[in-house]
């Protein structure tokens, strides 16, 4: 096994690049702004230039690297081709091919949420599990599925899009995906705020500390629930009920050992986990009711570390062949 690997996490506002030993020791990270005025190929070539600079600065060469693992915010197939990244303005892009040719280092590519899930399994909250589902609760709801320590990407790269599981038949407002009643509309940060706002309107005579918040955000709602505010508690419990229902559905298909909960909203795990576990166990198939729930711990480094694991796993697989 060659001693080094890169992990690259491409986001809508920044790109994080990590240099590590293949053992998992991450010893250098770089963060650069995401360019908004470049074609997809020029964008990727600018990343390759940063990687070349770091290789040169460390006195290394391409032959020292087992590979590069890249996470991108869109569906990715097994050939490393991205099928649309709205946040980047990309349509179909051969990320693996472009970077491999530019760097002469093996490249593996995955959806960013899936790659983050791989990182949490390897070095984070899912350490010790081989089969898990990571759930990210932020502006939206993301997910990543790991089976036998491998990412499940699906035929069209859309496996793990649990935020768009249908959980409500009565929703009148569209989700960002254009469907109605998606999990993301309830269990995300924006969903929790929306539910709280609706409750404030439906129950105008019920006192609540949320009425003084301007603007209202998910942290304020979670803080209110922690303080015992009835409307805030109801909003949180409603969101976690929908999430628990959705994860019970996931268990009927994947049956993971654990769910790893991450994203900014998960920082309020003391408030979220109890109603989430309660709801999950109410809806789950009997044999899946005791699935473990863990909190993600890698934060913004999950994508980088997952990228490194992606590269290392590919290199090991090729060596065994």
Claim to verify: residue 177 and residue 248 sit in the same structural domain: yes
Alpha-carbon distances, residue 19 vs 43, 96, 156 (angstroms): 20, 18, 30
The answer to whether residues 287 and 147 belong to one domain is: yes
The pLDDT tens digits of the residues spanning 136-195 come to 998 889 899 999 998 998 887 788 889 999 999 999 999 988 999 999 999 999 999 999
pLDDT at 115: 93
3-state secondary structure of 40: helix
- Picking from 72, 92, 111, 133, the residue whose alpha carbon sits closest to that of residue 288 is 133
Share of the chain residues as helix, strand and coil, in percent rounded to the nearest 5: 45, 25, 30
- What pLDDT does 128 receive? 95
Per DSSP, the three-state class of 70 is: strand
The β-bridge partners of 181 are none
pLDDT in tens, the chain (321 residues): 899 999 999 988 899 999 999 988 899 999 999 988 899 999 999 999 999 999 999 999 999 999 999 999 888 888 999 988 877 889 999 999 999 999 999 999 999 889 999 999 999 999 999 999 999 998 889 899 999 998 998 887 788 889 999 999 999 999 988 999 999 999 999 999 999 999 999 999 999 999 999 899 999 999 999 999 999 999 999 999 999 999 999 999 999 999 999 988 999 999 999 999 999 999 999 999 999 999 999 998 999 999 999 999 887 766 655
CATH code of residue 41:
3.30.420.40
Residue 68 sits in the same domain as residue 43: yes
Residue with tokens 């053992």: 23
Judge if 29 and 54 occupy the same domain: yes
22 and 149 share one domain: no
Q: How many Å separate Cα 220 from the centre of its chain? A: 23
207 and 308 belong to one structural domain: no
Rounded distance between C-alpha atoms, residue 123 and residue 107, angstroms: 21
The angle subtended at Cα 13 by Cα 264 and Cα 60, nearest 5°, is: 105
Residues 100 and 177 in one domain: no
Count of structural domains, the chain = 2
Is the residue at 118 inside a domain? no
In a domain, 170, yes or no: yes
pLDDT of residue 318: 66
Instruction: For residues 141 and 181, state if they share a domain.
Output: yes
Range of the domain at 215: 125-297
Is residue 290 located within the same domain as residue 211?
yes
Q: Is residue 95 part of a domain?
A: yes
Cα–Cα distance for residue pair 164/176, rounded to 1 Å: 10
Report d(CA 108, CA 48) in Å as an integer. 14
Q: Does 60 share its domain with 192? A: no
Q: CA-CA distances (angstroms) from residue 299 to 12, 62, 171, 262?
A: 17, 29, 32, 8
Q: Are 69 and 7 in contact (CB under 8 A)?
A: yes
Rounded to whole angstroms, the Cα distance separating 20 from 31 reads 15
Q: What pLDDT is attached to residue 316?
A: 73
Q: Is residue 119 part of a domain?
A: no
Are 79 and 146 in a shared domain?
no
* Proportion of the chain above pLDDT 90, given as a percent: 79
Cα pseudo-dihedral 107, 110, 114, 117, rounded to 10: 10
- The reply to whether 211 falls in a domain is yes
Q: What is the DSSP string of 203-215?
A: -TTS--GGGG-SS
> Are residue 61 and residue 135 in the same domain, yes or no?
no
| Predicted pLDDT at 78 | 86
Is residue 120 one of the residues assigned to a domain? no
Q: Centre a 10 Å sphere on the Cβ of residue 173 and count the other Cβ atoms it contains.
A: 8
pLDDT of residue 84: 85
Residue 39 is predicted with a pLDDT of 93
Q: Give pTM, 2 decimals.
A: 0.87
């Amino acid at each position: 096994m060659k001693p080094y690997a890169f992990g690259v996490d491409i986001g809508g506002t920044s790109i994080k690049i990590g240099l590590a030993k293949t053992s998992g020791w991450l010893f250098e990270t770089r963060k650069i702004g995401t360019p908004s005025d470049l074609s997809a190929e020029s964008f990727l070539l600018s990343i390759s230039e940063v990687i070349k600079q770091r290789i040169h600065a460390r006195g290394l060469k391409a032959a020292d690297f087992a590979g590069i693992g890249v996470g991108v915010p869109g569906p990715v197939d097994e050939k490393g081709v991205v099928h649309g990244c709205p946040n980047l303005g990309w349509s179909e892009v051969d990320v693996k091919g472009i970077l491999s040719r530019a760097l002469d280092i093996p490249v593996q590519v995955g959806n960013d949420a899936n790659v983050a899930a791989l990182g949490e399994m390897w070095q984070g909250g899912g350490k010790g599990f081989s089969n898990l589902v990571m759930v990210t609760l932020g502006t939206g709801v993301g997910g990543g599925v790991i089976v036998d320590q491998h990412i499940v990407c699906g035929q069209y790269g859309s496996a793990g899009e649990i935020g768009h599981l249908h959980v409500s038949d009565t929703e009148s407002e569209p989700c960002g995906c254009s469907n109605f009643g998606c999990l993301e509309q309830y269990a995300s940060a924006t969903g929790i705020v929306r539910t709280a706002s609706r409750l404030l309107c439906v129950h105008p005579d019920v006192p609540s500390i949320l009425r003084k918040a301007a603007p209202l955000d998910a942290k304020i709602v979670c803080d209110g629930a922690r303080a015992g505010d009835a409307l805030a508690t109801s909003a949180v419990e409603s969101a976690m009920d929908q999430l628990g229902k959705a994860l019970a559905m996931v268990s009927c298909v994947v049956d993971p050992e654990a769910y790893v909960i991450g994203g900014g909203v998960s920082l309020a795990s003391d408030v979220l986990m109890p109603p989430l576990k309660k709801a999950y166990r109410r809806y789950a198939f009997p044999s899946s009711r005791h699935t473990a729930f863990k909190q993600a711990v890698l934060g913004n480094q999950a994508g980088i570390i997952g990228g490194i694991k992606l590269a290392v796993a590919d290199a090991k697989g090729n060596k065994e062949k």
